Structure 1
């Protein structure tokens, strides 16, 4: 992932946005709770397959349409332990979510015969097939990818981004909710750290005020297990980076003397902050840009059902 190029000063902006993003009334479901427990144990090196399998099965039984990021984690657990029946069962759910069979076969260990997996999966199809909302979301995704080409000018890119936003709002107005997996039948996001498989990547290119309009629907989608908390955090942090950067720039423009005194030094650069600490430097070791109120970071993460600790889960 390319490092986000931003500038910093000591100005602390962004507290108001932290307050707006309030999840005090949020209670994590058994689905998130059991998967988080399994992921923590797995990350800590647990080899107790019985415990891991029990947690995964409890999580899956509490959600009729599991998210692909959780299913993909499960697939890795079953691959590592050579559990063919479990591997095939999870693979069927992934294909139903729209994930390709080749992606699944890439995870198949040598102890499980790929021909058996193919045979078991040959009649499984995506739930998004012939789904009109999924079709519209895929159009947004494709148009967003094209708009990010270096051959596309800024004005044209902004026009496409606004067009995609209008399409998305139209869908939401129609169904009165976020077009998550329960509506589209599709969820291609198999990694915590990436949303490039899915139309949600387009949200990274929307204007801050456009994201603010979508935030209530995104928050509700987490409650309904229609969106991964990690992917919500990725979208929100990108928005938060732009929003706090813009606010700090405006503050500097309005009050340069108050900020700098009577010195002749140049204006400080823009400061930007994250809320959930999703983005990191190129070496993946440092949260970059820094987070607001770092001592409360784990608490903020846990409130949206993320694992509090900063783990590389993929």
Structure 2
């Protein structure tokens, strides 16, 4: 005899367990099935975003990534256009990010990178000539052609440089900041170094520029870029309520931590070898799969299965 549910007559507890078992791990909601990343055109964030997308896609999620300016990234998270941004460099980005975070419009779940730096830099031969501090720049205005090279317009680093010029800090009022892009700035620096010309530019680590060029960072800009040569911590940001609404992705983001060595290696593949960012990230994960154990602790696939074996299988490990 069969019951109306289709199960043979069984003890009530067992029958209920069989009915509930398929629902023990619900699939992710439509809201959470696609994870939308904001990028800002910096190779380090391109690398970390590619790593994270590779893991998420191995878990069964769809992902998207749009390259926009820093202000648009924050406005987009506020307006529910983006879910995740992995490039909140602090403290230099505080003036842009903190108003959104203070109002509860954007959340900052955790730091994902420690030990970064972000300040003005020059080639080593300029350092050797005695320009070791931002206070030395004004006396060499003509040698620098009166220019400080930044990256894309609206970037927090450019805004700091603009503030230094507007304030005539260290006598920099006669300098002009050149908006460009990461690639454009680096091309200009490469050309200047090849000709042994003087150039001052926005530098940071992690980045292959630190090994590609013989360069160094200028002391003295603590009041603008922060102490320890613009010593920085990079944070993960999300739209408000995202980690709660999409708790499985939130668990991954809570585990996600990168290193300077990791990012330098992947960025080098992208910038020096011309590798596709997604392929460079996947190759790095294949060769360094041990990081996945910590990243995927307590994380499941979109079907509720253990995350680690699924991601390894998707990478062919």
TM bucket (normalised to shorter chain) is: under 0.3
Task: Looking at secondary structure, tell me which structure has more strand per residue.
Answer: 2
Task: Looking at secondary structure, tell me which structure has more helix per residue.
Answer: 1
Bigger radius of gyration: 2
TM-score by length of 2: 0.25
